[in-house]
Amino acid sequence: MWHKFLWFYPKGVLYNWRNEFAGTVDFDLFSKRFLTPIDDIASSVFCPDKAKCSHSCDRNIMGDRKKAPEGACLKMLKPDLILAPADIIVCKLNASEFHKAIALAIGIEPYDDRNDDVYTWQIGSLQLKPGKRRKVFLSYRQEGPFTREIAELALSEKEPFIIFTFYHYDLPRETERALSNSQISRFSLDEILEITNDCQLKLLPSCSDIWGDIADFVKIEEKKQYRFNLPSGTDWEDVSIHFLDKHSISITVGGKEKVELLYNEMGMADKRNTKPTKDWHLLETLAASGGSLSWKSTKANQTFQQQKHRLIERLCSIFGLKSDPIPWDSEAKAYICRFKISPDTKSTIYHSRLRAD
């Protein structure tokens, strides 16, 4: 069924969409969710009897197209297909909704963006442990054009990526070898996804962990600690830190300079196993706690004192500032961050705090 999308992409006649998909899904739901009518009327539709008809030609639209259109086989020289006016409306695939449904089904963060042409889209990005992302593309091309496209895409992208096709086909051996050497992963939708009758996209049971091998393969590389070169007069109150996810943050200084960093770029990766250090986890706790930890908190114990000291040294090194960024506030009886810090609102620790409150 997945290969049929290529027949109609980027647009097709409603009659043809229904003729091909109605036997697999609830077509009313399908058309409402994934099809968008455009201001165009078809001049022909598929022959509904191609399997039996020896002529194998489309049916040309005849008659009053706005009230009572008919489909005529020109070989038979007569109209014999009664159509509704809606049948000959041209509909385009709602790419944004379709790509979002695919992204959510395969477990990636949706991101809908056409690449250089209408046949290649970035539909999302995959968060890999421990903190790296890979772009995920969807190609509407078939074998020959795809072979050329994937080579061009590999040259334009600086990092490894993942690409989906609608159905599986073999590529030239040299192309497969080049993809493997570049750590580019290729999947086909027909091998991992199904569309249910109610138009829900679901992973096939055998593909519940399709990203496992990729995630295990990717190792975070060691990077030098990032250091800001801040202008004179900058202090902690000018710094804003926001967690994008459990492995990366966005830093803004003075409302102008914005940098996205992984924990290893903050110097907070354990050299033994590349996982985040306790310094990183403490920073994450401070974000989830609104930038403060009271003495009553179970986190503010003696171990916290030691971790806080290491975290302060790390932050001072990164930002080139010397004063204490997390001082004790005697009135509030809590450690208060002088810089602004906010959590990833999707994180477990954030929602655990909301339930506790």
Tokens describing residue 75:
């070989």
Per-residue model confidence (pLDDT) at position 295? 63
What pLDDT, in 10s, does the model give residues 86-115? 999 999 999 999 999 999 999 998 987 776
Residue 350 has pLDDT above 50, yes or no: no
What pLDDT, in 10s, does the model give residues 113-160? 776 678 999 999 988 755 578 899 999 998 888 988 888 888 888 888
Residue 289 has pLDDT above 70, yes or no: yes
What pLDDT, in 10s, does the model give residues 219-257? 555 567 888 989 889 999 999 999 988 888 999 998 877
Residues 6+ apart with CB under 8 A from 280: 263, 266, 268
Q: Which residues are registered as beta bridge partners of 201? A: 195
- pLDDT band, very low/low/confident/very high, at 215 (cuts 50, 70, 90): low
Tell me which of 99 and 181 has the higher pLDDT. Answer: 99
Residue 298 has pLDDT above 70, yes or no: no
User: Which of 340, 154, 120 lies closest to 251, judged by CA?
Assistant: 340
Tokens describing residue 140:
């509407």
The arithmetic mean of pLDDT across residues 175-185, rounded, is 82
Per-residue model confidence (pLDDT) at position 223? 61
- pLDDT band, very low/low/confident/very high, at 173 (cuts 50, 70, 90): confident
What pLDDT, in 10s, does the model give residues 63-79? 877 787 888 887 766 77
**Are the CB atoms for 75 and 57 separated by under 8 Å?**
yes
Residue 13 has pLDDT above 90, yes or no: yes
As a whole number of angstroms, the distance between CA 346 and CA 126 comes to 16
Would you give the DSSP letter of residue 237? G
Per-residue model confidence (pLDDT) at position 49? 75
DSSP collapsed to 3 states, 135-193: EEEEECCCHHHHHHHHHHHHHHCCCCCEEEECCCCCCCHHHHHHHHHCCCEEEEHHHHE
Cα dihedral sign for 22, 26, 28, 30? Answer: negative
User: Which of 193, 232, 41 lies closest to 105, judged by CA?
Assistant: 193
Per-residue model confidence (pLDDT) at position 130? 55
Count the Cβ atoms, other than its own, within 10 Å of residue 324.
14
Residue 356 has pLDDT above 90, yes or no: no
User: Which of 83, 39, 35 lies closest to 59, judged by CA?
Assistant: 83
Per-residue model confidence (pLDDT) at position 318? 93
The arithmetic mean of pLDDT across residues 329-342, rounded, is 91
What pLDDT, in 10s, does the model give residues 38-56? 999 998 888 887 666 766 6
Tell me which of 220 and 318 has the higher pLDDT. Answer: 318
**Are the CB atoms for 53 and 71 separated by under 8 Å?**
no
Chain mean pLDDT for the chain: 84
**Are the CB atoms for 190 and 2 separated by under 8 Å?**
yes
